[in-house]
Chains A and B, each alone.
Chain A
């Protein structure tokens, strides 16, 4: 059904999205909590910096990432020397680009849902002897879970569709950095490949719809667990 190149692109996209989310999500949860609960100098600056990937032209973001993560770049040379990880023109770079571009979209719903958690519940937990970490793990995080899921899905979708920063940072190498979006773009340049374009387009739509539906179901389940009894055997 799919050609080898097409299935490569699909699997690569899933891999890139998965890894970008795996690294971005914990950082986003921590940052979302800090932004929701703490006041500190430079908060405005952090907020502005966070929004940058949304407002900068993706090509510009990609170029900045290239400077930072290239083999001669500050971070790139460090990663290569210490971990043997190469970023430029590798799928790992596609994951970095996708993670950076998706990050603001992941943080926002997480931050909002932490802000919605009643701090008086955390106070109550404190009077019951729970320290900071236990309060976070047992009260704040579970109650903010719908927002974390929403952020994860948004981030996954964004990572899947990221184009500009990715192509700037890691180019468009079939089998290494050619994600679904890049493959669709490449196929469009070739006459007579309309059916392949259509197949990949339908797959992209299917994955996105699936992700949104899955997050909707999870969020609904999280909401229900706040309002109703546990179902039998679920306690």
Chain B
């Protein structure tokens, strides 16, 4: 478990970073300049905080009061950098085995297999694609047997196809009881797929912490999470497969959603992100309409802002539970429909809007259809 409470004066802004992360994947989320990378560097021992304390599993890495400041090699903090930083003069194998701990902890074979590196071992980093380089970088950091793994925007320099190729490997890493992960990103789809908890950074300090669904469905945070990318993240279960129609019905707490065919057996758990801008609101239940998903609910809140848009939080509930869905609509619509907390509405969600990027699925080669 990571416990950090530090202050650092940077050119221009002051950083005040304080959060705890228990296990699983904690996302450090925020715009560029919010202090994400500085936080990673302070944990890794590559940047010295002005004051504060950093501890992992009770082991103090930095404490300005007692004068403890472990050097980076002593910290047992693995880092996957945005640019990979593979050693260009060493083969993939020797990159992977660079850490002294790498040879003798018996995990070499498992890590190679998990990341699909078997075919790359004798090659030099320059001959690898960007996605392959990042997989090697992840393997190299894992094999150093770290107490925690920091991933600093590991996908930021990759194109969409490469991202899609590597995300399943990171999901697998998360699911295979590896070290706790701190995942830095400003991409909401990555965070929604990977993270258990979110630490939302803004202008050098922590604006909010919470679970993924909590943070992304809080309308007051949407200026920080980003209006156009923002939306609710729902835990879902595959409830029904419409094979001829190539659609799947997903059960979410409070209702169900029809989405384009999900290649998972009925009963599988998954996660789905419903972007606020893909949700419309109606006061009456529309009959003759192409939109497949009409969920009855109640308005919980309407955010005020200066722009032409408003974000509405809608509670959708039935005997199976409750989900919060966010909808972005215009201020005029709020006025004309009289939308306010307590008003009963129908949330309309186009199935077409929910593409593969919105859904967290297992790696491609494990998909059973």
A interface list, Cβ under 8 A from B = 118, 120-121, 123-131, 138-139, 142-143, 225-230, 235
Minimum CB distance partner of B81 in chain A = A124
Given A127-B45, A127-B144, 10 additional A-B pairs, CB 8 A: A128-B140, A129-B74, A129-B99, A130-B73, A131-B71, A138-B98, A142-B89, A226-B89, A227-B126, A227-B127
CB-contact partner of B98 in A118, A125, A228, A229, under 8 A? A125
CA distance A226 to B93 in the complex (A): 15
CB-contact partner of B144 in A120, A128, A131, A229, under 8 A? A128
Instruction: Scan residues 30-77 of chain B and give those whose CB is less than 8 A from a CB of chain A.
Output: 44-46, 71-77
Given A120-B81, A121-B87, do A128 and B99 touch, yes or no (CB 8 Å)? yes
A235 engages B89 (CB within 8 Å)? no
Q: Is residue B205 within 8 Å, beta carbon to beta carbon, of the partner chain? A: no
B contact residues around A230 at 8 Å (CB)? 91, 122, 124
A126 engages B73 (CB within 8 Å)? yes
Q: Is residue B101 within 8 Å, beta carbon to beta carbon, of the partner chain? A: yes
* Least distance between B61 CB and chain A CB atoms (Å): 12
B contact residues around A126 at 8 Å (CB)? 45-46, 71-73
B contact residues around A127 at 8 Å (CB)? 44-46, 72-73, 75, 77-79, 141, 144
A125 engages B83 (CB within 8 Å)? no
Minimum CB distance partner of A226 in chain B = B88
B contact residues around A124 at 8 Å (CB)? 79, 81, 85, 87
Q: Is residue B100 within 8 Å, beta carbon to beta carbon, of the partner chain? A: yes
Residue of A129, A130, A227, A229 contacting most chain B CB atoms (<10 Å): A129
A123 engages B88 (CB within 8 Å)? no
Q: Is residue B123 within 8 Å, beta carbon to beta carbon, of the partner chain? A: yes
* Least distance between A125 CB and chain B CB atoms (Å): 7
A contact residues around B93 at 8 Å (CB)? 235
Q: List 19 A-B contacts (CB under 8 A).
A: A120-B83, A120-B85, A123-B72, A124-B87, A125-B98, A126-B71, A127-B44, A127-B144, A128-B144, A130-B98, A130-B99, A225-B89, A226-B88, A226-B89, A226-B124, A227-B127, A229-B124, A229-B127, A230-B91
B122 engages A143 (CB within 8 Å)? no
CB-contact partner of A129 in B73, B85, B122, under 8 A? B73
B contact residues around A131 at 8 Å (CB)? 71, 73
CA distance A80 to B101 in the complex (A): 49
B contact residues around A123 at 8 Å (CB)? 46, 72, 85
A129 engages B46 (CB within 8 Å)? no
Instruction: Scan residues 134-149 of chain B and give those whose CB is less than 8 A from a CB of chain A.
Output: 140-141, 144
A contact residues around B74 at 8 Å (CB)? 129
Minimum CB distance partner of B74 in chain A = A129
* Least distance between A146 CB and chain B CB atoms (Å): 11
Minimum CB distance partner of B137 in chain A = A124
CA distance A127 to B71 in the complex (A): 9
Minimum CB distance partner of B99 in chain A = A128
Residue of A118, A128, A229, A235 contacting most chain B CB atoms (<10 Å): A128
* Least distance between B141 CB and chain A CB atoms (Å): 7
B contact residues around A120 at 8 Å (CB)? 81, 83, 85
* Least distance between A101 CB and chain B CB atoms (Å): 32
* Least distance between B97 CB and chain A CB atoms (Å): 10
Minimum CB distance partner of B72 in chain A = A126
A contact residues around B45 at 8 Å (CB)? 126-127
* Least distance between A110 CB and chain B CB atoms (Å): 17
B contact residues around A227 at 8 Å (CB)? 88, 124, 126-127
A contact residues around B127 at 8 Å (CB)? 227-229
A128 engages B71 (CB within 8 Å)? no
Minimum CB distance partner of B94 in chain A = A235
CA distance A235 to B92 in the complex (A): 11
A contact residues around B100 at 8 Å (CB)? 129-130
B73 engages A226 (CB within 8 Å)? no
CA distance A123 to B88 in the complex (A): 14
A contact residues around B124 at 8 Å (CB)? 225-230
* Least distance between A180 CB and chain B CB atoms (Å): 37
CB-contact partner of B87 in A129, A139, A235, under 8 A? A139
* Least distance between A95 CB and chain B CB atoms (Å): 33
Q: Which 8 A-B pairs have the closest CB atoms?
A: A126-B72, A124-B85, A128-B99, A127-B79, A227-B126, A226-B88, A128-B144, A129-B73
CA distance A235 to B89 in the complex (A): 11
CA distance A124 to B81 in the complex (A): 8
B contact residues around A125 at 8 Å (CB)? 87, 98
B98 engages A128 (CB within 8 Å)? yes
Minimum CB distance partner of A126 in chain B = B72
Given A124-B79, A127-B78, do A229 and B46 touch, yes or no (CB 8 Å)? no
A235 engages B122 (CB within 8 Å)? yes
A228 engages B73 (CB within 8 Å)? no
* Least distance between A49 CB and chain B CB atoms (Å): 32
Minimum CB distance partner of B144 in chain A = A128
CA distance A131 to B70 in the complex (A): 12
